Homo-oligomer: A and B are copies of this chain.
Amino acid sequence: MISDEIEAVVEQSGVREGLCTLFVQHTSASLIIQENADPSARHDLERWLNRLVREDDPLYTHTTEGSDDMPAHIKSVLTSTSLSIPVAQGRLALGTWQGIYLWEHRHHGGRRSIVVHVSD
């Protein structure tokens, strides 16, 4: 969960009422907002999506970067590359149960970069 890190960026920006936009600079990872309380929800979500987008699918021709590469691209398209969250009273206007997550879709994804834009 990256909510706290993003919240820190918003705080540093000094913006009280505005908009915070996150953008992940990769095509095999994504940004989602999900349940922040019970880890079983994220666990099930991951397993469900892994079953929908299989690694061993004979349909794939884009396979040179490994069997987890094409599934990662598909998962990225089915989820989100950018997220926009309003800022109210100097904080992200998330609901009580919402957390922001960076979702890595590769087995060994390396370092990932997220660009954060905050404006009023």
A interface residues, Cβ below 8 angstroms from B:
18-19, 21, 23-27, 32-35, 38, 40-41, 43-45, 47-49, 51-53, 57, 59-62, 70, 73-74, 76-86, 88, 93-98, 113, 115-117, 119-120
Q: How far is the CA of A83 from the CA of B23 in the complex (A)?
A: 9
Chain B residue with the shortest CB-CB distance to A103: B77
Name A's interface SS: mixed
Say yes or no: A33-B41 contact (C-beta < 8 A), given A83-B81, A95-B113, A115-B93: no
Contact B44 A48 (CB under 8 A): no
Residues of B within 8 A of A57 (CB): 48
Asked whether, in the complex, the Cβ of A62 is within 8 Å of the Cβ of B43, the reply is yes
